[in-house]
Amino acid sequence: MDTPFPPYEPNGPNDEARGPRLREIPLRVIIPNVITVLAICAGLTGIRLAFENRYELAVGMVLLAAFLDGIDGRIARLLKATSKFGGQMDSLADIVNFGVAPALVLYVFILDQARSFGWIAALIYAIAAGLRLARFNVMAERETKAKWQSEYFVGVPAPAGAMLVLLPVYVGFLGLAPTPLFAYLASGYTVLIGFLLVSRLPVWSGKSEGSRVRRDLVLPIILLVVLYVATLMSFTWETMVITVVGYLATLPFGARSWQRKYGGWTAPTTNGASEFPEEHEGQ
């Protein structure tokens, strides 16, 4: 009796199109993807803890997710295990950890008291984070890059945005009563951070090859880092408030530094190209 299906070829072209089998994937390639999955789990767990009114743990999980999401790419490069699959996973993790999770934690903590205004603010921030990440991916895939791209971000990066937008939560942990007025102010602040994410503001990245530290300043900087970590562990929310305020205070200096080096901030794209892919131009 004839079978309606062709015989299965273990190594045929149809099997190759499905991708490599698990036994063919080196362990060093899997490790960064596992870290990315753990970051997604941490971000989603932070959302759950927020709905359970365990806010300090919720914020801790969101910050942990941001930390894991920040090191997975570096570990992949260190292990020489970068892959297109890992890049796609990292992008999905970014929108969860830097967009959805902070917005929902903030909404449950304080923005819900502003009713529809609070929810709109949370939506604006989450969508802005997604747009920011999409723009970053498009610019990173270009073959031709401008010199400034190794020194500056276009707009506040999404990981920093997640840290910044949670400022009302940090302040709430320090004893500020969650009044309706506070909720409306927090809503306005959330929208502001969303606009900073999608803005064309030049933000210093610290990735330039010319960013070197003098030898005599290495030990003092190490001591400052130790001091910061110690204060973060002992006075967590006070330190986070100071960190957010300090980061926001550096933004004008980054823009001024750009202006001195490259002139006006009128064309942050390379060779006049659009920040969006060609299939979206004009829409």
Q: pLDDT digits over 135-191, tens only?
A: 877 777 766 666 666 677 888 988 889 999 999 999 999 988 888 999 999 999 999
pLDDT at 261: 72
pTM over 0.85: no
Amino acid at 128: A
Alpha-carbon radius of gyration of the chain = 22
pLDDT at 259: 75
pLDDT at 148: 61
pLDDT at 41: 92
Structure tokens at 272: 């006049």
Residue 79: HSE in the Cβ half-sphere, 13 Å Cα cutoff: 18
Query: 114: which residues sit within 8 A by CB, 6+ positions away?
Result: 121, 180, 183, 184, 186, 187
pLDDT at 34: 85
pLDDT at 275: 44
pLDDT by position in tens, the chain (length 283): 555 545 555 555 555 555 555 556 667 778 888 888 899 999 999 999 999 999 999 999 998 888 888 787 778 778 777 777 777 788 888 899 999 999 999 999 999 999 899 999 999 999 999 998 888 777 777 666 666 666 778 889 888 899 999 999 999 999 888 889 999 999 999 999 999 999 888 888 766 555 566 777 778 888 999 999 999 999 999 999 999 999 999 888 877 877 777 766 554 444 444 443 333 333 3
pLDDT at 86: 73
Q: SS3 breakdown of the chain: % helix, strand, coil, rounded to 5?
A: 70, 0, 25
pLDDT at 283: 39
Counted residue by residue, the chain has a size of 283
pLDDT at 210: 52
Mean per-residue pLDDT of the chain: 80
Structure tokens at 27: 């362990």
Amino acid at 106: L
DSSP letter at 278 equals: G
